[in-house]
Structure 1
Amino acid sequence: MTGKIYIVGIGPGSSEFLTKKAIDTVKNSDYTVGSTRAIELFDDVKNKIAFNVKELLDKLEEGVELAIKGNTVSILSTGDPGFSGVLNTVLRISSEKGFDKQNIEVIPGISSLQLAAARTQIQWDNANVMTFHGRENIEDILPVINNGKTTIALPSRKVKDMAQFLLDNGVEEDREVVVCERLSYPDERIVESTLKEIAESEFTYMCIMVIY
């Protein structure tokens, strides 16, 4: 018997941004794999496999192995699985273990990037969209930062570090920046300021930078 894997986008963090498809998929799954914070968004979960960051790969492998045994498994991914999500990792593990890609379905979710664009009223199909989660090549932002388009970025480091990097590489200190912090949560914060002031400010790791 062949199982099924659903890679489920859970949105930016609030249950308000869960899609009905995501809710129904998790409800009908034999197992649900995800961070504790992600799993807690759902009211109806049969068997929970929660993990912290250090356990991520081991738990994803466990999820794939359960599917190989014939189970239906939902793997939760913050935002949208295809944008700084677990899509590629799950596909790689599945391939290594011989699980047929045809038995994997991606349930898209609302990315925090989309919510940042909505909060700042940006038509984001004409923006530079960049993620640096899990990447160290922050210099990739330099060729596009002055191309006349708004840049929406997920920093890999602290927001202040990215702001300082841009200042160190010649971006003007009065450049307009909006930091969208903890989007969709009760303590959501939208800060409009200059690049220089952002480089001198503290934010949590859950941020989007919008650079005009």
Structure 2
Amino acid sequence: MNKMNIVGIGPGDREYLTLGAIETIENSDVLVGSQRSLDLFDYVDAKMVVLEPRDIPKTVKMAVSYLDDGLKVSVLSTGDPGFSGMLKTMQKLSPKTKVNVIPGISSVQLAAAKVQIPWDTANLLTIHGGRAPTEDLLEKLDNTRPNIVLPNRHISELAEYLIDHGYSPEHEITICEKLSYPDEQIVQVTLGEAKNMDFGYMCVVII
């Protein structure tokens, strides 16, 4: 039986795709991923299945049905599948499906490289997926080393949360937005400033 490929496609730009990811994707019959992910491979002769956040269980079930039909199926996971990616989702929604994981470059790795943090010394956290910060986040933050955080959709909400839980409004954080894209920006601001700033959802925050 074929295994479902879960392929890490990096932070967004084609230069961060691995050769293994490209080969696997180009030899697939079905590609499943966000529209942004699929657009990277519009030249591939494969059935394209758009993975919408509200329809993930239904789409995963569809992908498994294609696999059961004997087709080569690749699920595209932005960044690396193993960090706030599709590996956890597949294990939860279809635990009996055999998978083949092709790792990719995550935005966490790229942020660490841009800011020159050895990321094996950092504390890696995620509240990705639209969840608001909770007390659990406060417990996981480590003030003895850099915290590299994949935030929820609202940086301002994260900044307000930190201020409300004892961090000074003058505490500096680094925001890496749209890493690898032409309009990438990396800014260092205070929590007080971030509370009133508008960033997109494609961000990494270093606290």
**With structure 1 as the length reference, what TM-score do the two structures score?**
0.90
Shift of 1:124: 1.3
Q: Distance in 2 between matches of 1:66 and 1:190?
A: 41
Q: Distance in 2 between matches of 1:173 and 1:32?
A: 45
Residues 87-134 of structure 1, C-alpha deviations (whole Å, 9 max, x = no match):
122123333xx53x2xx1000011111111111111111111100013
Structure-2 residue corresponding to 1:75:
75
Count residues in correspondence.
205
Q: Distance in 1 between matches of 2:45 and 2:8?
A: 16
Structure-2 residue corresponding to 1:181:
177
Structure-2 residue corresponding to 1:169:
165
Whether the aligned pair in 2 keeps the contact of 1:3 and 1:69 (CA below 8 Å) is no
Q: Which amino acid aligns with 1:130?
A: L
Distance change >3 Å, CA 5–CA 145, structure 1 → 2: closer
SS of 2:135's partner is helix
Q: Distance in 2 between matches of 1:198 and 1:175?
A: 10
Structure-1 residue corresponding to 2:124:
129
1:47 pairs with 2:43: no
Q: Distance in 1 between matches of 2:18 and 2:71?
A: 23
1:17 pairs with 2:16: yes
Q: Which amino acid aligns with 1:82?
A: G
Kindly report structure 1 stretches of 4+ aligned residues shifted beyond 4 Å. none
Whether the aligned pair in 2 keeps the contact of 1:6 and 1:75 (CA below 8 Å) is yes
Residues 49-82 of structure 1, C-alpha deviations (whole Å, 9 max, x = no match):
1232222221111111111121110011111111
Distance change >3 Å, CA 161–CA 146, structure 1 → 2: same
Whether the aligned pair in 2 keeps the contact of 1:32 and 1:45 (CA below 8 Å) is no
Runs of 5+ in structure 2 lacking a partner? none
1:142-161 paired onto structure 2 within 5 Å: 142-145=138-141, 147-161=143-157
Q: Distance in 2 between matches of 1:157 and 1:120?
A: 22
Structure-1 residue corresponding to 2:30:
31
Out of 84, 96, 107, the position equivalent to 2:102 is: 107
Whether the aligned pair in 2 keeps the contact of 1:155 and 1:162 (CA below 8 Å) is yes
Distance change >3 Å, CA 146–CA 70, structure 1 → 2: closer
Structure-1 residue corresponding to 2:66:
66
State, as a whole percentage, how many aligned pairs show the same letter: 46
Out of 113, 117, 134, the position equivalent to 1:118 is: 113
